[in-house]
Structure 1
């Protein structure tokens, strides 16, 4: 297979400019519109954006700062619905470019789906995550639920008796939701439920030692899902029956995507590979020249596989011919743009970093190899190692650069609590944020 990264024109422009730092995470999710455009999330750019078939990118900035857009869904009218994880809101982008935000209550939204009528449904955690917006979640009543926004913009809440929803999807033409649920514990329990517009929950299946999620729509119009704890992928067949396939031990699925041929592609492999489960349950991996873990994944109507990576903000595409194409996405503002119309776009300010993303400067590469943070003369690097590595591994933090580290560090409060680690004091938080902004900020 060939691996086409950049055109010569982009490289020539890039070499004349200083290197720019990589964005911390790739997009959380993709969705394809009727014209073949790909919508994706931009965390640090605080935008939902569209990669057009000609390679150009249009970003739509969000009204709420540091909203951390994640899950996306399109309705039949072409309106884009999206989740603002940190903002505690559900957003709707009209075709005109107008954005409307709907505040959620009692926690933080996670994933979103649209039913046959055009209503937007979303999952919501029970308020365990910290927020940078003191008004988001209205103080949080620790309630896990599914929310629905109807055509009039009215919010409806459907609370769960136990656990929290991990994903949501709709079978084609249906307005009853499929919801996967995790009930945490020493041996977690998983459930698959149906939810109608009246708020009635109907059990479909329940499992011990289970953590189901990643509900996604198959080519047959029915959902599929994964369950990492039990090591299976499940499908709803044409008769509405569950059919599960056991995966080899150690298989990890970050995100699941259904292909037109009935296969399921997945991201999350630690070796940077894309995984595929065929209709008979046979698992295979697609090798590629990268060591970055894949994150979001989508299979287009044409059968192309689009995916993002944890440490690289570009959009990657595997064509039907077996070629890899990397679409370049700008770091922050859309400035100094230079486009190449053959399916790729090069943003000059970011191009140098993208062209040499595997060739970091010698000092920084040594940091990543050793897993040691940059000394600041005040011992803050030791505080980082003591207080932050309970949440993320050193490589992830060393490679992840943000324009403002406040949201990431604040989220560590919740993660540390889950892992039973000591809390970050306000002084620790301020010191660590200043350290990362100085030494690992986006402008560095």
Structure 2
């Protein structure tokens, strides 16, 4: 059961489980994407390639260290355009993505391997039960495969996928809820934020799933809205919530850190300084594991979402309202 402890912090003038990598020193400070791209998620690969899910364009942008943008339109089946909204690092290079009922991998050379619910339309292995549904979140799991979830017949299904075997079910839960984010936890299990659980006394919580399919939920206080999630350097789970960043120990102890003048932070990541970094409105925030918080306004930013840190101490920030990517370095503290 959760043990909540109040802990306020003050501001002064964050996916996805991002791993800091080398930055692109010659890249411009601002990269403009095509109009109405709506950058939903980003990844920075170890070779310095920046990948961006352009949800409204049904495409993924590949940006090299010089800032050159290459567009990769997603393969089309029947029905609606696949709109990518979440990315995950592939253990063998490239990236994985979820886009409506499409689940796929994009290699560094631009090759797609993908599945959807109309199996003849996909080009990956796996048939019958091995369809992706409409996955909401992805993460690299403890077995070096990509874990994801979707719903079917009023139940929540968790599965794994790789390019050789295709989708394979891990477990099916006799309940229904929305998953916003997943991450590999410090204990080797996969943790996720869950919302709107059907017919539950408390509908929001943090879930945990092991490789053998064992599930457990830690209910959150009423009024919670957990979003992005990451494993912190202190072996705790950190996630965005309404007007705050929250920390959850694996034993269920919860601490809340309010954000000054913020309704809902968007993304959270671990920086190279072992602090938690997050985006909220037009600002970048830093929260140490001791609870000290600092906020910086980002010039010309309007609605910051996804962020990824670089080893050089700067951050790539996606502005969903202006379809731009900002490379921002916080001033010395």
TM-score of the pair, normalised by structure 1: 0.56
C-alpha deviations, 1:239-285, integer Å up to 9, x for none? Answer: 8664523304653212222212232222232xx22233233323332
Please give the residue correspondences for 1:59-78 in structure 2 after superposition, counting only pairs within 5 Å: 59-64=71-76, 66-78=81-93
Please state whether the residue corresponding to 2:158 is helix, strand or coil: strand
Aligned CA distance change for structure 1 residues 173 and 302 (closer, same or farther; 3 Å): farther
| Alignment partner of 2:184 out of 148, 152, 170 | 170
Q: 1:408: which partner in 2? A: none
Change (3 A) 1:173 1:37: farther
In structure 2, the partner of 1:298 is 308
1:292 aligned counterpart, secondary structure:
coil
Shift of 1:306: 1.0
RMSD of the alignment, in Å? 3.3
Write 1 or 2 for the structure with the bigger share of helix.
Answer: 1
Q: Quote the Cα distance in structure 2 between the aligned partners of 1:248 and 1:288.
A: 16
Q: 1:190 to 1:52 in 2, by over 3 A?
A: same
SS at match of 1:208: coil
Question: For residues 21 and 29 of structure 1, do their structure 2 counterparts lie closer, same or farther at Cα, with a shift above 3 Å needed?
Answer: closer
| Whole-angstrom CA distance in 1 between matches of 2:221 and 2:171 | 22
Contact 2:116 2:132 in 1 (8 A): no
Aligned residue in 2 for 1:286 = 296
Contact 1:123-1:167 at 8 Å conserved across structures: no
Distance 1:6 1:98, change over 3 A: closer
- Residue 94 (structure 2) aligned to one of 56, 61, 79: 79
Indicate the residue corresponding to 1:117 in structure 2.
143
Aligned with residue 31 of structure 1, among 43, 67, 76? 43
Aligned 8 A contact 2:146 2:160 in 1: yes
Q: Is the 8 A contact 1:191 1:206 kept in 2?
A: yes
- Higher RCO (CA < 8 A, seq sep 6+): 2
Counterpart among 87, 95, 110 of residue 97 in structure 1: 110
Worse-matched range after superposition: 32-41 or 52-61: 52-61
The total of aligned residue pairs comes to 285
Structure 1 residue 318: deviation in Å?
A: 0.7
> Following TM superposition, by how much is the alpha carbon of 1:153 offset from its aligned partner in structure 2, in angstroms?
1.2
* Equivalent residues of 1:234, 1:242 under 8 A apart: no
Q: Secondary structure at the match of 1:36?
A: coil
Q: Distance in 1 between matches of 2:184 and 2:248?
A: 12
What secondary structure, in the 3-state scheme, does the structure 1 residue paired with 2:91 have? coil
Q: What is the CA deviation profile of residues 276-326 of structure 1, one whole-angstrom value per residue up to 9, with x for unaligned ones?
A: 32333233321233251112112223322111112222211113668xxxx
CA contact (8 A) 1:145 1:164 kept: no
Instruction: Provide the rounded CA distance (Å) in 1 between the counterparts of 2:227 and 2:159.
Output: 17
Counterpart for residue 208 of structure 2: 194
Residue matched to 1:442: none
Pairing partner for 2:66 from 51, 54, 58: 54
1:191: how far off?
1.5
Alignment partner for residue 155 of structure 1, among 160, 163, 168?
A: 168
Q: Could you say what secondary structure the match of 2:110 adopts?
A: coil
Check the 8 A contact 1:106/1:143 in 2, yes or no: no
Structure 2: runs of 5+ lacking an equivalent: 1-26, 118-130
d(CA) in 2 for partners of 1:70 and 1:289? 25
Partner SS for 1:28: strand
Query: Aligned runs of 1:19-418 on 2, under 5 Å?
Result: 23-64=35-76, 66-85=81-100, 88-104=101-117, 108-124=134-150, 126=151, 141-150=153-162, 152-156=165-169, 158-160=171-173, 161-171=175-185, 174=188, 176-183=189-196, 189-220=203-234, 223-228=237-242, 231-235=243-247, 242-248=253-259, 251=262, 252-269=264-281, 272-290=282-300, 292-319=302-329
Where 2:72 maps in the other structure, the secondary structure is: strand
In structure 2, the CA distance between the partners of 1:155 and 1:167, relative to structure 1 (3 Å rule), is: same
Give the conservation status (yes or no) of the 8 Å contact 2:102–2:132.
no
Secondary structure of 2:221's counterpart equals: strand
- Equivalent-residue separation in structure 2 for 1:298 and 1:223 (angstroms): 18
Q: Deviations over 1:369-404 (max 9, x none)?
A: xxxxxxxxxxxxxxxxxxxxxxxxxxxxxxxxxxxx
* Aligned-pair CA distance for 1:48: 1.8
1:212 is paired with a residue of what secondary structure? coil
Q: Distance in 2 between matches of 1:309 and 1:255?
A: 12
Larger Rg: 1
